[in-house]
Structure 1
Amino acid sequence: MNDRRRPTPPSPGDAPDAAADGIEQGKRLIRVADDKGLSLSQKIANRFYLLSWKTPLHSRRLKGKYPLKLLAVPDDDVPGDPRAGQAIRAGYFLFRGLKQPVDTLDFAKLDLIPDFADHLHGFRWLRDLASVASREQGAPIAEGVMRKWLEVHAETPSEPAWRADNAAWRLLFWTTHAPLILSSSDLVYRSLVLNCVARTARHLDRSADKAPVGLPRIVAWGGIVAASLLIPGGAARKVFGEAGLKRAIDAGIHADGGILSRSPLDQMEAIMLLSMVQAVYDVRREPAPAFLQDALSRTVPALLSLAHGDGGLGSWQGAAAVDPARVSAIVAASRVRSRPLRQARDWGYQRIAAGQTVLQIDAAPPP
């Protein structure tokens, strides 16, 4: 007779010690409250807010004094893409293999995929152009595109051009690469650019907290902080912006440093944003708040935990392969030197390394 014994249930004394790994019993697979989508009421409220952009009241809120100049021009420690920069000099924008001729660019009828449109509205391409052109070479190109954008969007806020994260990225890249867009001797054009910088800051003051929790809201508040340090008379905005940025970081980044969306691309974007804000403090010779450095010291190890042996990122959450050089450049810009995070408590990615072998595991609960 085959004597099979039923397994003896573990006694309470055999249970794993919660203190051993810091995870409470019964909480090893949990959903995070903030990973749910917007409720119906939130969607309706957001829709009404977007409709309010077309009202005279919103336009009046964006009016005010425009700065005669910027207080400083921050450094951009993240290098641009030389290939994309050379393409701009050759007469077309290059984005993930897609092309858009500069001379036929029409911001009123931008028939491009959303990410490409965001790339143009956020003026991220200024970084690429700056990597291959001097001010004398790049300014005429940048000013030409700038005039096209201002003609359509300077006075009429609309999505996606004035979406909070796009507006914040645009403000950061406009100010960081100001020599490319403010070298003109045309005083009317210069005034229009500076006025739009100020309008963008006022727009962010009212829309940052309405951006989705996570990277979009962090970017929006980062733009407010940058504006407070680069536009004259920003003392009150600085207090307001730093408080908002801290709230956005606390809500959008887990305690272990992982971004709420769990996307490696969003993680890189968050590190780049925080590094650019830190550069603004540096150029103004003001100490950055402690929470900013703390956020960088947590997000960089989390990003490195998804790096393969060659330094490139793993393809998670719809992300494609990322060049190791780009990962290294963004980490270098953060000025954080750290080892990869080995055990993520909240982010969900686990990393096991032995010799030249790296094993990455997405151990988060299903959606």
Structure 2
Amino acid sequence: MLRDRVRLASVSAARAAGAFARGAAAPYHLMKSMAIAPPERLRIAPPDIRTTDSTVADQIYAGYFSFDGKTVQARGVSPFLVAAPSECWRRSLAGFSWLRHLQASDNRAALATAQELVADFLSLPKIPADDPAMEPAVVARRLLSFLSQSPTLLDGADADFYDAFMLALARNARLLWRALAGDGARGADRAFCAIALAEFAVCADTGRKIAPHVSRALSAELDRQILIDGGHVSRNPQVAVDLLLDLLPLRQVIAARGLQTPSAVLRAIDRMMPMLRMLQHGDGSLALFNGMGATALDRLASALAHEDTRGAPPVNAPYAGYQRMEAGDALVIVDAGGPPPFEFSLCAHAGCLSFEYSLGIERVVVNCG
């Protein structure tokens, strides 16, 4: 009892000291972030390996925006000006991940719609800091989406749109720099912010000055969040899938530029791939532990398709706290771990010794997710 109290007191003191140090350094990082200049050009555009859906493009072209179980019909009004039905809907809209569906469309009108919608967003007055669109994770998603879709968005664009787009890239990068330097981003969001900032540093011609600092920040987050056995410290399998879908394009774009990929990025990718296969049932879906919902099989397949070597899935992940037992077509996956650190426990369950059982492609015993 006394030992636990001492440990908690030490953790609290460390957090307080860290918060004080970050607060003291805030003016310095504010000044440093302002040095991130708008690019004159982008040297390369990263790929988006997430799958696309032409029906989503058709819906957006028709003025219907469906995210997170909510649908809004814009009726000729900018979707960024309508009342958001939920904060999750607003986050998805402002993250612009849906641009990939329009980019993949063969409909020239749909591509023009993508440019118009981005122009609508760029023309908005200053967005309040408490708007979900300004949350660090949403800003990171928006920066990644803008960079990956930049060839389409800038194709035939006039000078005003081009300048506004480049300025938006720099502003987003500044926000992420400050979020990483302070307490703006927490938990897994810090890794996504670092990935987005690293892509900006690689793709933008003005990113060279911040590249060393960003590389160190990204490496530190990956070493902190990806455990030795490949599990994410949150113990949520979905976080590992999402990280891979962003880390793999980053690795590709760094290689295409002829730059050296940080070893922490390579380690994280190599460790997470087998871990995800360990948590797969016979139907391809992942076990529902600690916030994992229904598996988007297309996204999981896109991530695992980049695995260089594919052996038998591991059966023991002591750091992540999962065990796998197989006998013929029978498979049991067991949660044998403790709670994750508080910072990463938003979706965690009190599920120690819970298990899932499947027989071939049939799920027999499952968790609620």
- For the superposition of Structure 1 and Structure 2, which TM-score range results when normalised by the shorter chain? 0.7 to 0.9
Partner SS for 1:93: strand
CA deviations 1:128-178 (Å, max 9, x no partner) are 2223345x3433111222122223366765542232222222111111111
Alpha carbons 2:223, 2:264 under 8 Å: kept: no
Partner of 1:353: 326
Distance in 2 (alpha carbons) for counterparts of 1:88 and 1:106: 10
- Cα deviation for residue 245 of structure 1 reads 0.5
Distance in 1 (alpha carbons) for counterparts of 2:139 and 2:311: 32
Partner of 2:242: 269
Distance in 2 (alpha carbons) for counterparts of 1:93 and 1:37: 44
Partner of 1:11: none
- Cα deviation for residue 80 of structure 1 reads 2.2
Partner of 1:321: 294
CA deviations 1:76-116 (Å, max 9, x no partner) are 23322344333223322223443223444443554233333
Distance in 2 (alpha carbons) for counterparts of 1:282 and 1:267: 22
Alpha carbons 2:70, 2:85 under 8 Å: kept: no
Alpha carbons 1:214, 1:259 under 8 Å: kept: no
Distance in 2 (alpha carbons) for counterparts of 1:229 and 1:127: 21
Partner of 2:359: none
Whether 1:190 aligns to 2:162 is: yes
Partner of 1:112: 85
Change (3 A) 1:228 1:153: farther
Taking structure 2 as the reference length, the TM-score comes to 0.77
Partner SS for 1:99: strand
- Cα deviation for residue 212 of structure 1 reads 4.5
Aligned length: 328
Using the aligned pairs only, state the percent identity. 24
Partner SS for 1:198: helix
Whether 1:138 aligns to 2:110 is: yes
Among 296, 302, 309, the residue aligned to 2:269: 296
- Cα deviation for residue 284 of structure 1 reads 1.7
Distance in 1 (alpha carbons) for counterparts of 2:164 and 2:31: 16
Partner of 2:285: 312
Among 121, 140, 165, the residue aligned to 2:137: 165
CA deviations 1:172-228 (Å, max 9, x no partner) are 111111123222432111100111101211222222243545421111111111111
Partner of 2:72: 100
CA deviations 1:28-81 (Å, max 9, x no partner) are xxxx99xx9999969998xx99xx99xxx9699547642222111122233223
Change (3 A) 1:207 1:213: closer
Distance in 1 (alpha carbons) for counterparts of 2:12 and 2:135: 18
Partner of 1:238: 211
Change (3 A) 1:169 1:129: same
Among 221, 224, 235, the residue aligned to 2:197: 224
122-131 or 99-108: bigger deviation: 99-108
Taking structure 1 as the reference length, the TM-score comes to 0.77
Distance in 1 (alpha carbons) for counterparts of 2:72 and 2:282: 35
Where in structure 1 are there 5+ consecutive unaligned residues?
A: 1-31
Partner SS for 2:124: helix
Alpha carbons 1:312, 1:324 under 8 Å: kept: yes
Which protein has the larger Cα radius of gyration, Structure 1 or Structure 2? 1
Partner of 1:281: 254
Partner of 2:43: 71
Partner SS for 1:291: helix
Partner of 2:149: 177
Alpha carbons 1:92, 1:101 under 8 Å: kept: yes
Change (3 A) 1:105 1:352: farther
- Cα deviation for residue 335 of structure 1 reads 5.0
Change (3 A) 1:246 1:38: farther
CA deviations 1:211-252 (Å, max 9, x no partner) are 545421111111111111111132231111110001101111
Among 305, 311, 314, the residue aligned to 1:341: 314
Change (3 A) 1:133 1:80: same
Change (3 A) 1:156 1:114: closer
Distance in 2 (alpha carbons) for counterparts of 1:354 and 1:113: 45
Code of the aligned partner of 2:110: G
Distance in 2 (alpha carbons) for counterparts of 1:211 and 1:250: 20
Distance in 1 (alpha carbons) for counterparts of 2:15 and 2:217: 25
Alpha carbons 1:85, 1:128 under 8 Å: kept: yes
Partner of 1:121: 94
Partner of 1:19: none
